[in-house]
Amino acid sequence: MYPEYMVAPIREDLTSAGFEQLMTPEEVENVLSQKEGTVLVAINSVCGCAASKARPALKMAVSSADKKPAKMITVFAGMEADAVSKAREYMLPYPPSSPSIALFKNGELVHMIERHHIEGNDLVRIVDNLKGAFEANC
């Protein structure tokens, strides 16, 4: 775990853009067990690719997309391990990945962006990928 003073601004990077920070497995379960609507899930991280690509791409896609998920949540890898584990249960069969981004529609995982899609891509492609997923599913 990291000191909270260190992760607070990283959390705020997404919560200030409309993401709800979930801290417990019960909170995650309450959101992801819903069978109606769309939910965007960001597994946040302190790593460089989260700072330089994942979080900026999420914010750019959400702010510029015509269609958007009904709900946006985030869990923080390396901090709330139980909440992250619960979110990852819903992302199976994809292996654990931080950062990662998942889109759910009516309780089903419909789009997944893993760490290797983030660190091996440029920001514009990640934004376009997300906007395409929003357009197709939201």
The catalytic residue among 7, 17, 46, 47 is 47
Q: Which residues contact 6 (CB under 8 A, 6 or more apart)?
A: 46
CA 46, 138, 29, 88 dihedral sign is: negative
Catalytic residue among 7, 17, 46, 49: 49
DSSP, res 106: T
Nearest to 113 by CA among 122, 102, 124, 125: 102
Amino acid making up residue 97 = S
**Cα–Cα distance, 19 to 100 (Å, whole number):** 14
Token pair, residue 120, equals: 């091996």
3-class state of residue 92 by DSSP: coil
Is 138 a residue of the active site? no
47 is catalytic: yes
Active-site amino acid positions: 47, 49
